[in-house]
Structures are given as structure tokens and as C-alpha cells.
């Protein structure tokens, strides 16, 4: 017997690289290319002016942030749970709600943290294949299950599912919790939030990392029936009560209060995305009709692995997975107009100079 036989061994999630340095165009982890709302700096300045507050534990309920979100989304504060990024919220939700005997369900092509958490917590799971257009087949989810998790829009495809189809899935599994991961919903997809009042088994998860330009602050949240939130809090307070730090709570609150800046930033990203789609079509790419802040694209002639390497060589970082069904696709985050302009001109030149095989 050896101590290593007692180790909880896991295969960790692999995040995109965080390259540093001058001249890097970073389009590989779906961050926002614009800074957070100006109110966020003012919040930091207030913390600086009164930094002695850091002696104290933060409010473990992050009530200020919860109240701001409750006002913004027109729900009761008791329907909101906040955490250290939506990864924290999702992991706690897996631990809390996916404790049945039946396997939980999620798509074969999806956010690659779901199977990592399932393995970590020893949750049985079954993946349901997307169709040839990367759409969810809703009937796949009309079977006995221990829970369901679906991102909408899906990652890394950017494909949006209709609220009606998601509602059918939620309605068909009243005895399981259904999590809709809306990490990208602000970029033009319809949210299932209005369904929370009607379905007590529905949990909606969102994040400040993408549309609110605050991946570095680590803020995510869930909105659901009070009972769901209360079970989630029981597990959280059995694990680590003080996860969200004071600056994050203050900065997150400031971000929620500045709706005009939020809309402006998201609007810019959507316009840049649609411009990029036009250019990609011209260059011979096929891609999904992404409703997120990234494109999921394959070139008609040139393998994705080759383009990925050529781009990286030129300091343009995108994402590529050596996985069945998606190994010929690149996932490209929408950056500023200037960054996307440089990406497009690089690709145009590369494709022209390379010629045909
Ligand atoms: C980015 C992302 C998240 C989590 O992001 P956090 O930074 O932890 O909030 C969750 N789900 C999906 C599908 C994502 O793409």
C-alpha cells in the first residue's frame, strides 16, 4: 500500500494559453477585448482609500452584489447565488444537485469542464451527440437522468438553441435539476431566465467573464427557485464560506449598475462578429451562426491544425482541439475591429500564398 493509492486522481481541465508580451493578439479564451465599466475603477479607488477594510472577512453572502443582480434581473435576492466565476457556481451545482443514481446528460461537444467535474465528483454521465449541424437533439434529453447541463449558446460551437426547445427539456425532467449555462447569452441569444418562475428545477448560470469584461475578477452567478439556491448555499457554506473577496464584490456591483456601458460593449462585439462572418465567408470558411463572442470556423481547403500553427507563429492565438468531429475547426474569440482586421488580412495573405495542394 502506498499513499498514492489513496489519491483522488483526476484529469484536469485544460484552459487556453495566456501568452504575454508585445504584439500578441489573444483570441483564444473568449475574454472581452474592452476594459470593464468605468465604475469598476471607481470601486477600486474606494477600496484603496479605505484599504483597512481588508482586515475583515468579506460579507459571505455578497449581499450588495446579490441585491444589484436581483434588481437588474427582476428576481428576489433569495433567488440568486454568486460565486468565484461561473466555474465555481457550476462545480458547486454539480456537487449539490447531481447526486442521483442515473447518469447526468450533456452534449458530446460542449464545455469541456462538465466531464471533468463529473469525474471529480464521481457522477455518472452520458453524452448526447449533437446533430450534423451541431444542434442539440432535444429528444435525447427526454430520458431518465440524474440531471442535465446545457450551455446556451453552446461552446465551442456558438450555436443557439430555442427557448422553446429548452423549455421542453426542462419540463420533461421535473425530477432533476436542469442547468442552463448562459455564459454567452448576452451576445444575442434569448435567455431562459423568464422560465425560472415557472420551473422549480431550472437553474440559470451566467458569468461576468465574457460580456462584462471581468474574467480577472472571477464572478459568476446562478438564478433559480429559492429552494435550489438554498441547497446550493448549504453545500457552499459546508465547504468554504468566504470565497468572493471584497474587491470582487464591490467591482461586480459597480459593473451591474452601469447598464449603458454593458450594452455598448456587447453591441460593439456583436457588430465586429457579424463583420468577421462576412470576411470569413469571402475567405472560404464555413462556420456556425454564432450568437456568442467567438466564431467556430473550418476552412474549405486548409486544415485547422495548420492554420492554428501559422497564426500562432504570427502571434495570433486562437483555440483548436484535436478531438473527433471538431478537429478541423478553429474557435476564434471576437476581439476589437483592429484585431479582427489584422486576423483577416493575415489569413487572406496566407490562404493566397499557400495556393492549392
Ligand atoms: C467561460 C465559460 C464558463 C465559465 O467562466 P468563468 O470565468 O468561470 O465564469 C462557463 N461555461 C462556459 C460554457 C464558458 O464558456
Instruction: Give ligand 1 pocket residues (Cβ under 6 A).
Output: 30, 85-87, 111, 151, 155, 181, 183, 207, 209, 215, 220
- Nearest atom (ligand 1) to Cα of 220: 9
Give yes or no for residue 22 having a pLDDT over 90.
no
Residue 356: its pLDDT value, please? Answer: 67
Question: Which part of the chain has CATH 3.40.640.10?
Answer: 38-257
Mutate which of 111, 212, 244, 331 for ligand 1? The one with the most ligand atoms within 8 Å of its CB, which is 111
Residue 38 — pLDDT band, cuts 50, 70, 90?
very high
User: Looking at the domain 38-257, which fold is it?
Assistant: 3.40.640
Quick one: CA dihedral 130, 136, 137, 143, positive or negative?
A: positive
If 0-12 CB within 10 Å is exposed, 13-18 middle and 19+ buried, where does residue 270 land?
middle
Query: Mean pLDDT score of the chain, rounded to an integer?
Result: 97
Average pLDDT (229-252) is: 97
pTM score of the predicted model: 0.97
- Nearest atom (ligand 1) to Cα of 29: 1
Q: Which class is domain 12-36+260-356?
A: alpha beta
Give percent of the chain above pLDDT 70.
99
Per residue in 74-93, pLDDT (tens digit) is 999 999 999 999 999 999 99
Q: Say how far apart CA 323 and CA 24 lie, in whole Å.
A: 26
Mutate which of 149, 161, 181 for ligand 1? The one with the most ligand atoms within 8 Å of its CB, which is 181
Question: Which part of the chain has CATH 3.90.1150.10?
Answer: 12-36+260-356
Residue 357: its pLDDT value, please? Answer: 60
| Those residues with Cβ within 8 angstroms of residue 13's Cβ, 6 or more apart along the chain or in another chain | 112, 113, 116
Give yes or no for residue 337 having a pLDDT over 80.
yes
- What is the 94 CA–ligand 1 centroid distance (Å)? 14
Give yes or no for residue 137 having a pLDDT over 70.
yes
178-181 and 202-207 beta bridge pairing: parallel
Give yes or no for residue 169 having a pLDDT over 90.
yes
Residue 248: its pLDDT value, please? Answer: 98
Per residue in 283-330, pLDDT (tens digit) is 999 999 999 999 999 999 999 999 999 999 999 999 999 999 999 999
Give yes or no for residue 15 having a pLDDT over 90.
no
- What is the 350 CA–ligand 1 centroid distance (Å)? 32
Residue 16: its pLDDT value, please? Answer: 85
Amino acid at each position: 500500500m502506498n499513499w498514492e493509492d489513496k489519491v483522488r486522481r483526476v484529469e484536469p481541465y485544460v484552459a487556453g494559453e495566456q501568452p504575454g508580451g508585445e504584439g500578441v493578439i489573444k483570441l483564444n479564451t473568449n475574454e472581452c477585448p474592452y476594459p470593464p465599466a468605468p465604475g469598476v475603477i471607481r470601486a477600486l479607488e474606494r477600496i484603496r482609500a479605505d484599504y483597512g477594510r481588508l482586515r475583515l472577512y468579506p460579507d459571505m453572502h455578497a449581499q450588495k452584489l446579490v441585491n444589484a443582480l436581483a434588481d437588474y434581473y427582476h428576481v428576489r435576492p433569495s433567488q440568486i447565488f454568486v460565486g468565484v466565476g461561473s466555474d465555481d457556481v457550476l462545480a458547486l451545482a454539480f456537487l449539490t444537485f447531481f447526486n442521483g443514481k442515473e447518469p447526468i446528460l450533456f452534449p458530446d461537444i460542449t464545455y469541456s469542464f462538465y466531464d471533468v467535474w463529473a469525474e471529480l465528483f464521481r457522477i455518472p454521465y452520458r453524452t448526447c451527440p449533437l446533430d450534423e449541424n451541431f444542434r442539440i437533439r432535444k429528444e435525447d434529453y427526454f430520458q431518465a437522468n440524474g440531471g442535465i447541463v446545457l450551455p446556451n449558446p453552446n461552446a465551442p460551437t456558438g450555436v443557439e438553441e430555442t427557448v422553446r426547445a429548452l423549455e421542453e427539456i426542462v419540463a420533461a425532467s421535473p425530477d432533476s435539476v436542469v442547468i442552463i449555462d448562459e455564459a454567452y447569452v448576452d451576445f444575442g441569444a434569448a435567455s431562459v431566465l423568464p422560465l425560472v418562475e415557472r420551473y422549480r428545477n431550472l437553474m440559470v448560470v451566467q458569468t461576468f467573464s465574457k460580456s462584462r469584461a471581468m474574467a480577472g475578477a472571477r464572478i459568476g452567478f446562478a438564478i433559480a427557485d429559492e429552494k435550489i439556491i438554498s441547497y446550493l448555499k448549504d453545500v457552499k457554506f459546508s465547504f468554504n464560506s468566504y470565497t468572493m473577496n471584497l474587491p470582487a464584490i464591490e467591482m461586480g456591483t459597480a459593473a451591474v449598475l452601469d447598464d449603458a456601458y454593458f450594452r455598448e460593449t456587447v453591441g460593439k462585439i456583436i457588430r465586429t462578429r457579424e463583420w468577421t462572418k462576412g470576411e470569413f465567408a469571402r475567405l472560404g470558411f464555413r462556420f456556425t451562426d454564432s450568437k456568442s463572442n467567438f466564431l467556430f470556423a473550418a476552412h474549405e481547403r486548409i486544415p485547422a491544425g495548420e492554420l492554428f500553427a501559422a497564426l500562432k507563429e504570427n502571434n495570433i492565438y486562437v483555440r483548436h482541439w484535436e478531438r473527433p468531429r471538431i478537429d478541423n475547426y478553429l474557435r476564434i474569440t471576437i476581439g476589437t475591429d483592429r484585431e479582427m482586421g489584422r486576423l483577416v488580412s493575415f489569413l487572406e495573405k496566407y490562404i493566397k500564398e499557400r495556393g492549392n495542394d
